[in-house]
Structure 1
């Protein structure tokens, strides 16, 4: 990290033996070869996306399912953020929406994605900064065009949730509320 931003990162996927490495300003590499991701489809209805729902409430899942039908695919993705990032780098996913944005889950992946031409934003358009204490919605997209297309579909519905705090509260707050409700 330098000035709050990742300068180098890597993700190893043991199941495939693939090692993804990036250094700020040097590109992203898979097993030593420069990653050249193909552009995602221009049409929203052809985009392949994921939104891990493990920590979402039933209401949040239902709301996401409503807007998710506008894409070709919107799955819950892998349990590992690292695996989702590598799927984006390999072209298997065009975007991933996360509800949690903890640095140990995202710092390396966000750098890898950026070095491969991808974009990561919060609902207010601000970039992801691993050292900031904010935890909440985070959109990763294969490129700027894809990011804008996904934002047009998602943020209208989900941004309002973020403002009310429902989508942006921390995991600890969510657990506390859930424990208090039972």
Structure 2
């Protein structure tokens, strides 16, 4: 599927199914999945339904794997689709923010072919613009009027001057204690509870690192590709490449290989 068509599908779903519900959800429209921080709303389920239908209408042979579909049928992630084009969809990334009325959420989709990421889109419904990348073509901020701004990850700085985002909630307890203490070695750290906006922020050169303990393809396939295309070093905590099939092992993104190694040794230890 053409990346511009995919972006248009995400934008239309946001306008039809997500934004009309923002700050208009009652209790019956929000459900808890695994914890108080893992929620699903009518916006998630309806947006994923219309996104999936629109993709299938344009590309019937494409496999669509959405976050909510996997929540209903976890075995979807175990199915082998290496011989087909797969589009991973996160209808509302940052659902807890969305449900709480915080304007920090995104709509994300990534395209994998032969098991390799080839394209990604992160749409900001409030800003009404996209972060888009295709393998080998760079990462771009794209506006509805056609304007495009190429993105570049930050330049290296010493560890003590680094700022970035770290999602530590899904690390093992003992590792989390160590990492949280080690984060005192950097200048600044944050967690937006929305990987889509963390990737958007970093792509523009505003962060020196990103780290995630939980890997789900709809959360990270698009963003990891975008960070590589913006010039960052991207790898799992053990140094191996990240792929859509990886569901564990953590993900660390940094400005360059030396910075990656420093962060791995000094902060994100195991």
Query: Which bin holds the TM-score, normalised by the shorter protein?
Result: 0.7 to 0.9
Q: What secondary structure, in the 3-state scheme, does the structure 1 residue paired with 2:122 have?
A: strand
Q: Shift in Å at residue 12 of structure 1?
A: 1.1
Match of 1:11 in 2: 122
- Conservation of the 8 A alpha-carbon contact between 1:99 and 1:136: yes
Match of 1:66 in 2: 181
* Cα 1:48/1:112, change in 2 over 3 Å: same
State how far apart, in whole Å, the 1-side matches of 2:153 and 2:180 are. Answer: 27
- Conservation of the 8 A alpha-carbon contact between 2:163 and 2:209: yes
Q: Shift in Å at residue 63 of structure 1?
A: 1.9
Q: What secondary structure, in the 3-state scheme, does the structure 2 residue paired with 1:69 have?
A: helix
**Which of 46, 49, 55 is the equivalent residue of 2:161?**
46
State how far apart, in whole Å, the 1-side matches of 2:257 and 2:224 are. Answer: 14
State how far apart, in whole Å, the 1-side matches of 2:163 and 2:261 are. Answer: 15
Q: Shift in Å at residue 59 of structure 1?
A: 4.5
When Rg is computed on C-alpha atoms for both structures, the one with the higher figure is 2
Q: Deviations over 1:84-124 (max 9, x none)?
A: 11111122221111010110100000111111111211122
Range with greater deviation from structure 2 (66-75 or 143-152): 143-152
State how far apart, in whole Å, the 2-side matches of 1:3 and 1:108 are. Answer: 15
**Which of 85, 99, 102 is the equivalent residue of 2:199?**
85
TM score, norm. by length of structure 1: 0.76
Q: Deviations over 1:16-39 (max 9, x none)?
A: 333111010111111222113441
Q: What secondary structure, in the 3-state scheme, does the structure 1 residue paired with 2:167 have?
A: coil
Q: What secondary structure, in the 3-state scheme, does the structure 2 residue paired with 1:50 have?
A: strand
- Which ranges of structure 1 fall in alignment gaps of 5 or more residues? 159-182
- Conservation of the 8 A alpha-carbon contact between 2:185 and 2:267: no
- Conservation of the 8 A alpha-carbon contact between 1:5 and 1:131: no
> RMSD across aligned C-alpha pairs, in angstroms?
1.9
State how far apart, in whole Å, the 2-side matches of 1:100 and 1:56 are. Answer: 7
Match of 2:151 in 1: 35
State how far apart, in whole Å, the 2-side matches of 1:118 and 1:81 are. Answer: 16
Match of 1:148 in 2: 261
- Which ranges of structure 2 fall in alignment gaps of 5 or more residues? 1-111, 143-147
State how far apart, in whole Å, the 2-side matches of 1:123 and 1:57 are. Answer: 13
Match of 1:168 in 2: none
Q: What secondary structure, in the 3-state scheme, does the structure 2 residue paired with 1:7 have?
A: strand
Q: What secondary structure, in the 3-state scheme, does the structure 1 residue paired with 2:130 have?
A: strand
State how far apart, in whole Å, the 2-side matches of 1:38 and 1:124 are. Answer: 23
Q: What secondary structure, in the 3-state scheme, does the structure 2 residue paired with 1:91 have?
A: coil
